[in-house]
Structures are given as C-alpha cells and as structure tokens.
C-alpha cells in the first residue's frame, strides 16, 4: 500500500504528477488497491505492479491504473474498477507502507 498524500508520476513523463488520496467511501476497491487523483480531480484506481523502474537514483515501485466505472448496487451509485489504463506511474520507495 502507498502512504496517503504521496505524490506519484507518469513513468514516461516525470513532470506529470498525481496524488494518492484517501479512498472515498463511494469507491469500491480491493485491499491492495488505492485511489489516485490528478490535480484536476480525475480519479483512477491504482495497484502496485511488483516491479520497479529507476528514477532519481533509486528503484521506484511502479503502479498500474484502472478507470473508475459507475454502477448501481442496491439502488445506490458506486465507483468500481474498470478498464486498465495504458502506461504506469511510479512512487518513491519510502512512501510504501506495509
């Protein structure tokens, strides 16, 4: 899992940052998943890939992202994991919490 408030970046553009936020109540996700929010408010679900890429002189864990689809469950609207988004993002290794 990644510490709340961590900054992540696109692996193909280290100037394209996003934030890991506390998971909103209305989004259902797995225990090993979290929500990533862009500075413009676009939310995606993230999950660690188990691989790393070298950035800023250290091996940074990579994250795959998924769209958030809206569905009706028991008469209420919920966000659930949708299609995978091409590409990965990365995070500094010290932001990983066990």
Residue 14 above 80 pLDDT? Answer: no
Instruction: Give dist(CA 1, CA 35) in Å, integer.
Output: 11
Could you tell me if 89 and 7 are in contact, meaning their C-beta atoms sit under 8 angstroms apart?
no
Q: 19 falls in which pLDDT band (50, 70, 90)?
A: confident
The pLDDT score that the predictor gives to residue 53 is: 94
Q: Structure pTM?
A: 0.85
Give 44-83 pLDDT, tens digit per residue.
Answer: 999 999 999 999 899 999 999 999 998 998 888 888 899 9
Could you tell me if 44 and 86 are in contact, meaning their C-beta atoms sit under 8 angstroms apart?
no
Instruction: Give dist(CA 37, CA 41) in Å, integer.
Output: 6
């Amino acid at each position: 899992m990644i510490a709340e408030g961590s900054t992540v970046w696109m692996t193909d553009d280290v100037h394209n940052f996003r934030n890991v936020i506390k998971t909103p109540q209305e989004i259902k996700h797995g225990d090993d998943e979290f929500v990533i929010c862009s500075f413009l408010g676009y939310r995606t679900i993230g999950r660690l890939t188990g691989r790393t890429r070298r950035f800023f002189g250290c091996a940074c864990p990579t994250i795959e992202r998924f769209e958030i689809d809206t569905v009706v469950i028991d008469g209420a609207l919920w966000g659930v994991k949708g299609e995978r988004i091409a590409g990965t993002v990365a995070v500094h290794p010290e932001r990983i919490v066990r």
